[in-house]
Structure 1
Amino acid sequence: MKNLLIASYDMEVGGVERSLISLLNNFDYKNYKVDLMLYSHTGEFMSFLPTQTNLLPESSVYKTFRMSVGEIIKTGKITLGMARILAKYRADLSTSEENGYKQMQYMWKYSLPFLPKLEKRYDVAISYLWPHYFVAEKVKAKTKIAWIHTDFSKVHTDKTLDFYMWDKYDYIIAVSEDCRKSFVHMYPLLKKKVTVMENITSPEFVQAMSGEEVENVMKYDQRFKVITVARFSHAKGLDNAIKALKVLKDRGYDDIAWYVIGYGGDEKMLKDLIKQNNLEDQFILIGKKINPYPYMKKADLYVQPSRYEGKAVTVGEAQILSKPVLVTNYPTAKSQVRNGFDGLICELSIEGIADGIEKFYKDDELTKVFAANCKKSNYKNNEELNKLYSLMR
């Protein structure tokens, strides 16, 4: 039996975390003993971790990556607090568009000398979420694998710093072919290391969870109901979604309600935008939900208004629930939607989103056909795990 380590940040509600849960719940525990290293033992998805996975004790040092500078200093870890301040200063020398990702990089770079190594030696070590410095620098393993969950053509990082980190891995797994292409375009010297493995989906789990009785604000809403499940961030394009609904309202569509499940740093901005456009009764932020599926089940249409994606887990989950989907034409969109069969890909713009929703609203038959096509499609892809096993032999 091989010893395997998987490392990630925490189990807060999110697409990456949901994909990790699916991977762990479908893993081959007969041939692999799996240790899970979470920097912080927090998040609503902690209860979904399978019993076969050995959760390593929480490290007070690595937990600081989910703390503010003030919280870090209060714990007495002054050097790590100073490393964080230096990282912010260095990142602020970049443009505002770039500094979020760069601050994460520099935070790890300046913290590395003060971070402990894992003593155990592994056959395989997997870093599931960028930045991948922990497994690259602090873990001993025969084979090291890193995951790509996003479109790197849209991510602004210190490429030189990141290259040295990526190069310490034997394999790099992208969640879609388009994801792989965008990464290889940025790092052509790493091309031979990169392979594709889609996120594991579990139709049985999604269907079972969708039947759970929850206090559902959508239950008695008779309007045409759109739903999005996403983090409140620039990448997810929720500001464009609000503006698209305003366009629809100006066209006379007062009976469209757009519900959003999620949370994140852009919440205040989104609420202000909703208020500015007088959409308080139509664009409704439900907040964080451990189980979004009963809400998705009640919707007429799932919309992913993102500016960029690796491969949105929630789009596949909506399709499992036989919901027609509308996604913006971000670079990896074609890897998720068979345009004109189980959903539509619209122009990545406010007008494009509005036009796409209007098309579904006006054509009930189209909605039914797409829903039927979703129902007869097989979205289960457990065989994708064989790609991972082949790398770990």
Structure 2
Amino acid sequence: MKNVLIASFDMEVGGVERSLINMLESFDYNNYNVDLMLYRHKGDFMKLLRGKFNILDEIEEYTTFRKSILEIFKDKKISLGLARIKARMDASKYAKKNSLEESGHVQMQRMWQFSLKYLPCLNKEYDVAISYLWPHYFVANKVKAKKKIAWIHTDYSCIDTDVIEDIELWNKFDSIVAVSEECKNSFLKKYNKLKNKVVVMENIVSPEFIRFMAEEEVEDDISKGKGFKLLSVARLSMAKGIDNGVRALRILHDKGFTDIKWYVVGYGGDEGMIRKLIKENHLEKDFIILGKKINPYPYMKGCDLYVQPSRYEGRAVTVTEAQILGKAVIITNYPTAKSQLRDGVDGLICDKSVEGIAVGIENIYNNRHLKKEIEECCRKSNYDNMEELGNIYKLFYEREKIWNR
């Protein structure tokens, strides 16, 4: 049996974490011994980790990547605390020329670079080591493995990183897995030298599991509410565009569509800004942040329309999950959007602007026949992609030539 390591940050509620759970749920444990390395054993999804894999004990130095600088110093990890300060100072210089979002990615890189010499290696050697979430420094530098694989979950054309530093990091991996063809293409526009390493594999989804979870009864069941109910499941961050959702709902209400309510399952650093925006637009009763939910599927089941107003995405797991539940969906025209759905068939793609989002919602609201056609198409479509696990296993055995489809 091959020994496999899968590494990620934690199990806070998020799309990447849900896709990791789906993969772990479906893994072939008859042929693979799997260790899961989480930098910190934290997050509501921890309770969903079950199966025949082994969760490695926390290593104190790696927990610092999910702690504040103050917490790090309180834990007497002085060198790692100083490394974090140095990373923040370095990124602040970068932020003067670029956006805060871009500088955040650079700060994450610097944080790992400056911390590496203070981080321990794993003692065990693996046949395969998978780094499931960027940045991939841990598996690249601190794990012994015959084959190393890194995952791409985002659109790299929309984020800024230190390309030279990144190339050096990516070259330590045998294969790089992108979750969609467009995600791969956007990555290669930036890192064309790595084209022989990149393969495409969709996030694993389990329709049976999603439909089962959707039947759970919840106290704040939106299906019992009045009006036309929109839903988004997303982190409250710039990338997900929830702020544009608030502005779009204001446009719709001003046009007379006052029975439309927008619910959001999620949390994140932009929550304060979004709540302020909701108040400024007098939408306190109509744009409702439900907060963090371990199980978002009853809310998907209860909505009339699922909306993903993102500024950029790799491949939004939540969109496919809503389709599995037979929901009409609207997504913005981010660069990887066409890999997500068939426009006009099992969903709609609208312009990324605030006005574009409002127009897309209005089209579905006014055309209930189109809505029913999309829903029927989703119900009849097969979104099961368990065959992707077989493609992952192929990478484990590939030696001299990168396997590609």
TM-score, length of structure 1 as denominator length: 0.99
Question: In the alignment, which of 313, 320, 339 is matched to residue 316 of structure 1?
Answer: 320
2:144 aligned partner: 140
Shift of 1:221: 1.2
Amino acid at match of 1:319: Q
Alignment correspondent of 2:75: 75
Contact in 1 for aligned 2:80/2:115 (Cα 8 Å): yes
Which residue in 1 is equivalent to 2:403?
none
Amino acid at match of 2:30: K
Residue 272 of structure 1 corresponds to which residue in structure 2? Answer: 276
Aligned equivalent of 1:130: 134
- SS of match in other structure, 1:392: helix
Matches within 5 A, 1:185-196: 185-196=189-200
Pick from 357, 362, 373: which aligns with 2:361? Answer: 357
Contact 2:221 2:298 in 1 (8 A): no
Paired residue type of 1:34: V
**Structure 2 match to 1:19:** 19
Q: Deviations over 1:318-347 (max 9, x none)?
A: 000000100000011111111111110001
2:285 paired with 1:304: no
Q: Deviations over 1:333-383 (max 9, x none)?
A: 111111111110001110110001001111111111111100000000000
**How far did 1:53 drift?**
1.0
Determine which of 181, 185, 188 is the counterpart of 1:181: 185
| SS of equivalent residue, structure 1 residue 258 | strand
Q: Please give the secondary structure, in 1, of the residue aligned with 2:130.
A: strand
In angstroms, what is the RMSD of aligned CA positions? 0.7
Q: Which residue pairs with 1:169 in the alignment?
A: 173
CA distance in 2, matches of 1:303, 1:125: 35
Pair 1:99-2:103 in alignment = yes
Give the alignment of 1:26-37 within 5 angstroms.
Answer: 26-37=26-37
Can you list the C-alpha shifts for 1:35-57, whole angstroms capped at 9, x where unaligned? 00000001111111122010000
SS state at 1:366 partner? helix
State the SS of the aligned residue for 1:61. helix
**TM-score of the two chains, using structure 2 as the length reference:** 0.96
Following superposition, the deviation at residue 98 of structure 1 comes to: 1.8
Letter in 1 for 2:308: Q
CA distance in 1, matches of 2:383, 2:261: 28
Q: What's the offset of the Cα at 1:217?
A: 4.3
SS at match of 2:223: coil
Query: Corresponding residue for 1:256?
Result: 260
| Correspondence for 1:371 | 375
Percent identity (aligned): 61
| Residue 223 (structure 1) aligns with | 227
Superposition pairs of residues 140-159 of structure 1, within 5 angstroms: 140-159=144-163
One-letter amino acid matched to 1:216: D
User: For 2:369 and 2:306, how far apart are their aligned partners in 1?
Assistant: 16
Displaced runs of 4 or more, over 3 A: none
1:200 aligns with 204
Determine the C-alpha separation between the residues in 2 that align with 1:30 and 1:187.
Answer: 37
2:161 maps to a residue whose letter is: T
1:333 paired residue number = 337
Gapped runs of 5+ residues in structure 1? none
1:199-220, Cα deviation, whole Å (9 max, x unpaired): 0010001000000011124132
Distance, in Å, in 1 between the alignment partners of 2:11 and 2:224 is 32
Which is worse superposed, 170-179 or 46-55? 46-55
Q: Distance in 2 between matches of 1:330 and 1:311?
A: 10
Q: For 1:272 and 1:46, how far apart are their aligned partners in 2?
A: 32
Q: Which residue is equivalent to 1:242? A: 246
Q: How far off its partner does 1:97 sit?
A: 3.9
Q: Supply the distance in 2 between the matched residues of 1:38 and 1:229 (Cα, whole angstroms).
A: 24
DSSP 3-state at the match of 2:358: helix
Match in the other structure for 2:402? none
Gaps of 5+ in 2: 398-405
1:6-33 alpha-carbon deviations (Å, 9 max, x no partner): 0000000000000000000011111110
Partners of 1:317 and 1:84 lie apart in 2 by: 37
Deviations 1:263-295 (A, max 9, x none): 000000000000000011110000000001111
- Asked if the contact 2:331–2:337 (Cα under 8 Å) also holds between the matched residues in 1, the reply is yes
Q: What is the SS of the residue equivalent to 1:226?
A: strand
Q: Is the 8 A contact 2:24 2:51 kept in 1?
A: no
* Number of residue-to-residue matches in the alignment: 393
